[in-house]
Amino acid sequence: MPISTPLFDMLHELLDEAKKAGASATDAVAAVSTSLSATLRNGALSDLERSEGKEISLRVLVGKRQASLATSDVDHKTFRELAERAVATARLAPEDPYAGLPEIEECALLIADLDLLDTHAPNAEDLIEKARVMEEAARENPAIAQVEESAASASQSSAAYLASNGFAGSARSSMHSLYVTPIAGESTNMVRDYDQALAHHAADLRTPQEVGQLAASRTALRRNARKMPSARVPVVFSSRNAGSLLRTLLSAINGQAVARRTSFLMESLGQDIFSPAVTVIDDPSMARGLRSRSFDGEGLPCEKRALVEKGKLNHFLLNLSAARQLKMKSTGHAGREAGGPPGISASNVYIENGAVSPEALITDIKSGFLVTDTMGFGVNTLTGDFSQGALGFWI
């Protein structure tokens, strides 16, 4: 029986119109969202924004030709026009032997409740107060001259996915965030840093005071920095910097890059790429995880995987198209962006804790560098060359 909610009703209607227009297969995503944010600059409210959005993204296949269109005009009168334009565009597209929907037997059977929705939506006064507390906490540090920005925001969204193979899935989530940027120093010797907190539930956020104090502390430590001479020394990356390292890895094991043979790791599956101390996990099933999900952008199930296990590369990130090109099976990493075919995206990726604490790592180093931040885009995923600017502390 077709699922009946306002979002699914729109999708059923849209897929029906696409079938009438000549599509052999279709899938679509409908999403609605609301957000509220408050920003203070030097104690004064500078921005208070509320936004509401609606969007539908439709993909149609005519044989092995496909096209994707998106619109924010969700008036039912436009559905026929959208479907007809999508089918007409698909007929002009080149054939893609790897395009297509999964079989319904491959799709996710269970849509788990991952507790991603906080039903309490803060009002403007709540957000302004959080931003004010963050700024005041940052200013308590005597090294802080001013606060460039202090912001608090909250949003809620609902999304539904429907495909002509019979799969239907939906998700609801919320997001709360705190962000503050203090400035230390004066004249031409000014430095800034930041801290940020993100969570689906407001109760999971660190307090605004904690965020403000940590941002101020980080900023104060940046004063009087100096350039070090070139040297070959041990380097320790802080946990804060782990995200940038993981993004480089995820780009290199993206199945689309591997299929195009534009990744330096394209021949490394099953081989050691890190030391045995490194294990990288992708876990979409984490309750309240920032990027948790029960199914991917093609309706396939998502599961916890060790992308790298004790240094060995176990998996590429694959959607259906990349998996077919590589003669592999999808890993459930399809992502959807408006107006395009399924791409590839990871979920909650992290490096497992090792046996040695950060303090112990640093203690054993007589002369080295603790990296707290990197700068620039000096990572070449085609060759593996890595050259970036870095900030941190000399050990």
pLDDT in tens, 112-143: 999 999 999 899 999 999 999 999 999 999 99
pLDDT at site 4? 60
Q: Where does the pLDDT of residue 3 fall: very low under 50, low under 70, confident under 90, or very high at 90 and above?
A: low
* Length in residues, the chain: 395
Closest CA to 204 of 291, 111, 287: 287
- Tell which wins on pLDDT, 394 or 74: 394
Long-range contacts of 46-50 (CB under 8 A, 24+ apart): 47/151, 48/124, 48/128, 50/124
- Is it the case that residue 376 has pLDDT exceeding 80? no
Percent of residues, the chain, with pLDDT higher than 90: 79
- Give the CA-trace dihedral at 47, 52, 58, 59, to 10 degrees: 30
Q: Give the largest Cα separation in the chain, rounded.
A: 72
Closest CA to 172 of 124, 110, 127, 119: 119
**Cβ of 27: how many Cβ atoms within 10 Å?**
26
- Is it the case that residue 172 has pLDDT exceeding 90? yes
Task: Please state, rounded to an integer, the average pLDDT across all residues of the chain.
Answer: 94
Element (H, E) at 289: none
CA distance 197 to 120: 18
Q: Where does the pLDDT of residue 381 fall: very low under 50, low under 70, confident under 90, or very high at 90 and above?
A: confident
Q: What is the mean pLDDT of residues 293-306?
A: 97
**Cβ of 140: how many Cβ atoms within 10 Å?**
11
pLDDT at site 133? 98
- Is it the case that residue 1 has pLDDT exceeding 50? no
| Under 8 Å between Cβ of 192 and 219 | yes
- Is it the case that residue 369 has pLDDT exceeding 70? yes
Q: What is the DSSP letter of 53?
A: E
